[in-house]
Homo-oligomer: A and B are copies of this chain.
Amino acid sequence: MNQFLEFAIDLAEKLQGQTSTNPSVGAVIVKEDRIVGFGAHLKKGEAHAEIQALKMAGEEAKGATIYVSLEPCSHYGMTPPCSKSIIDHEINAVVYAVKDRSLNKSGHDMLVEAGISVTHSPSTRAEQLYESFFVQQELEMPFVTLKVSTSLDGKVATDTQESKWITGKDVKQDVLKLRSNHDAIITGGETVRKDNPLLTSRTESYREPQRVVLTRKSHFVESLDIFNDEQKPVIIITDQSNFKITKNQNIKLKKLDELNLKAALHYLYTEGYSNVMVEAGPNLISQFIEQNLVDQLIIYQAPKMIGGQGKYQYYQTHDVYPLSEAKQFKIISTDIIGEDVKIVLRK
């Protein structure tokens, strides 16, 4: 693998999570073995990676090679097509790692027609980077991360529903940061009513995710913290046609005929939230797992055992499945966070 293409993929990885619903892309321009420009897409609606890199390279772009993590686009969207800019800057050659399956007209073909040498140089690392983007785009569903804080024996509370705090303060800090890496945080109405959480990242250096509450009841009491801070309105998704908002509640309401998780996720995707995190009680957590809606699972385990009968296990289902139908994940990493374990898994 070419080192410049590796660098372009590195850049894309660094910006992952903040370009929703666009993919994260990196670009590097090289002339006579010297980097003359590089860039990355920072935010949907702003310049693409290739444009950033071309701007940095200026006149040097003429006759140079551009390395891009994803095939340059060929369409007029919120910005002009990158392939056109590459042609206009008289770039000599284009090397990209992943073919953009979402393009109607191939950027590759458009560049070749303009007489530019184009190479598709596949990379497993880059494929993994865009895998979920293509799936999301095809299904029109966000990438769903489920966060669970549990005891070592799989419980989120004692049988008498005591649950504060199972994991330690370092985990709390890690979760705040995690929130800021997501477009939206989804929780259930019961969690809001019972725990009165803010669900913010609570630090100026972090971006604040959109907060989303799913509920089957027709109102929330006015005093709950989540409806009374200076953030963007909280999105409430409900099947209650008569849902009531009091005038002081900072709420954006979405009514669905039927409150099912797939429909709620699809709605969020169409609203531009392509990267969401679920932080909820065992009931909603179990529904997400049972319905195979979890793309990534982040589980924090405290090194303690709660015992009892396990009334509040984080994954409990009405149906009993054979072992061959157990929900299967793949471990990505394990870490020790303060006194607790963090395990990251993917579908």
Contacts and interface: CB of A to CB of B under 8 A. Distances in A.
Contacts of A289: 305, 307
B323 A163 contact: yes
Given A316-B310, A334-B336, A339-B330, A303 B345 contact: yes
A271 interface: no
Contacts of A321: 158, 306-308
Contacts of A322: 158, 160, 162
B307 A158 contact: no
A339 B303 CA distance: 21
Contact of A310 (B164, B313, B326, B331): B313
Contacts of A316: 307-310
A158 B323 contact: yes
A65 interface: no
A314 B328 CA distance: 19
Q: What is the interface residue range for chain A against chain B?
A: 35 or more
Given A320-B158, A321-B158, A322-B162, A304 B331 contact: no
Contact of A330 (B303, B313, B335): B303
Given A303-B330, A330-B339, 11 more contacts: A152-B299, A152-B343, A158-B322, A159-B320, A286-B307, A305-B329, A306-B326, A331-B339, A331-B340, A334-B334, A334-B335
Interface of A: 151-155, 158-160, 162-164, 166, 286, 289-290, 299, 301, 303-310, 313-317, 319-323, 326-331, 334-336, 339-341, 343, 345
27 contacts: A152-B299, A152-B329, A152-B343, A153-B313, A154-B155, A162-B322, A163-B323, A164-B323, A289-B305, A303-B330, A303-B345, A304-B326, A305-B315, A305-B326, A306-B315, A306-B326, A307-B316, A307-B317, A307-B320, A307-B327, A308-B320, A308-B321, A310-B313, A313-B313, A331-B339, A334-B341, A341-B343
